[in-house]
């Protein structure tokens, strides 16, 4: 037993509805045909009744009046015989006509019955063939549904893998964004340190230049030096010692500043390299 789908059931219902409508239409046509036949019979009966009344009127006029006026006359008897013979002849002709018509109607009825049986047989054959076609189509639809279900299952599996890959790369992207944020923060901090180093280096360079100017002045003064008085010499000597001490201090500061500058430059180069790699 093959179950029918909703579409097939609808198709069968529409087919049955069409057949019922066709049957109703045929019944309506047959009823109209029967009505026309009855109207024709009534019309024919009216014609016959008119003929009968006419014949009765003629009979009363031609025969009854003649018999009444010429009772026992040979003319009246002959006229009555001729009238009866004519009526018998007309009756025989009508009977033959009706028999012929009845025969034709029987033949037509037999033909219609034969055509009706053929149509019923054809309808049964068509219904059986239609049912087989529907069963074949149902099997095809069932096969297509199974294939589509298999394809849907495959698509679901593929979709699940795609979602897993998407979540994996989404996590990687989040990690990369967090790392990028951390690196940007580190770069910003190192830029601030570098700017501070640059500012301090500028200050140290300025101080070193000032110390060199003072040293040059002292060297010039020392080259132009003439032996001063003892007290002046002592004072100058003390001043020179202070200046030399100050020079050593500034030279130490300059050396420290240079080392700090080199350290900051190395740190800055590392920051630049790490930034380029990311």
User: pLDDT tens-digit profile of 82-112?
Assistant: 777 777 787 778 778 877 877 887 888 788 7
Question: Quick one: tokens of 114?
Answer: 């034969």
- Verify that 25 and 124 share a domain, yes or no: yes
**Domain tally for the chain?**
2
Q: What is the DSSP letter of 224?
A: T
- Verify that 148 and 191 share a domain, yes or no: no
- Verify that 163 and 188 share a domain, yes or no: no
User: pLDDT tens-digit profile of 208-230?
Assistant: 888 888 888 877 876 765 655 66
- Verify that 152 and 21 share a domain, yes or no: yes
- Verify that 146 and 18 share a domain, yes or no: yes
Does pTM top 0.85 for this prediction? no
Cβ neighbours of residue 76 under 8 Å, at least 6 residues apart?
63, 66, 67, 70
- Verify that 160 and 56 share a domain, yes or no: yes
Q: How many residues does the chain have?
A: 278
Domain housing 43? 6-167
- Whether 155 is covered by a domain: the verdict is yes
- Verify that 128 and 157 share a domain, yes or no: yes
- Verify that 56 and 130 share a domain, yes or no: yes
Cβ neighbours of residue 183 under 8 Å, at least 6 residues apart?
274, 275, 278
User: pLDDT tens-digit profile of 47-64?
Assistant: 878 877 777 777 777 666
Q: Domain ends where: 140, 167, 194?
A: 167
- Whether 188 is covered by a domain: the verdict is yes
- Whether 178 is covered by a domain: the verdict is no
Q: Give the per-residue pLDDT at 1.
A: 43
């Amino acid at each position: 037993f093959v179950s029918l789908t909703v579409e097939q059931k609808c198709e069968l219902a529409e087919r049955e509805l069409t057949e019922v409508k066709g049957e109703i239409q045929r019944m309506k046509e047959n009823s109209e045909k029967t009505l026309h036949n009855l109207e024709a019979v009534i019309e024919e009966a009216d014609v016959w009744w008119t003929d009968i009344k006419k014949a009765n009127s003629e009979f009363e006029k031609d025969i009854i009046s003649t018999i009444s006026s010429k009772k026992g006359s040979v003319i009246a008897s002959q006229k009555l015989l001729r009238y009866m013979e004519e009526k018998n002849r007309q009756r025989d002709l009508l009977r033959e006509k009706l028999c012929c018509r009845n025969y034709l109607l029987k033949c037509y009825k037999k033909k219609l019955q034969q055509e009706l049986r053929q149509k019923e047989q054809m309808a049964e054959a068509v219904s059986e063939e239609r049912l087989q076609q529907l069963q074949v189509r149902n099997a095809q639809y069932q096969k297509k549904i199974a294939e589509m279900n298999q394809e849907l299952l495959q698509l679901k599996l593929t979709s699940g893998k795609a979602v897993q890959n998407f979540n994996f790369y989404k996590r990687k992207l989040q990690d990369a964004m967090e790392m990028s944020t951390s690196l940007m923060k580190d770069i910003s901090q190192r830029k601030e340190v570098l700017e501070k180093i640059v500012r301090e280096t500028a200050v140290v360079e300025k101080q070193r230049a000032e110390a060199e100017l003072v040293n040059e002045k002292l060297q010039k003064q020392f080259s132009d030096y003439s032996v001063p008085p003892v007290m002046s010499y002592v004072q100058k000597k003390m001043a020179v010692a202070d200046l030399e001490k100050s020079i050593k201090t500034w030279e130490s500061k300059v050396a420290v500043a240079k080392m700090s500058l080199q350290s900051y430059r190395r740190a800055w180069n590392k920051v630049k390299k790490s930034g380029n790699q990311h």
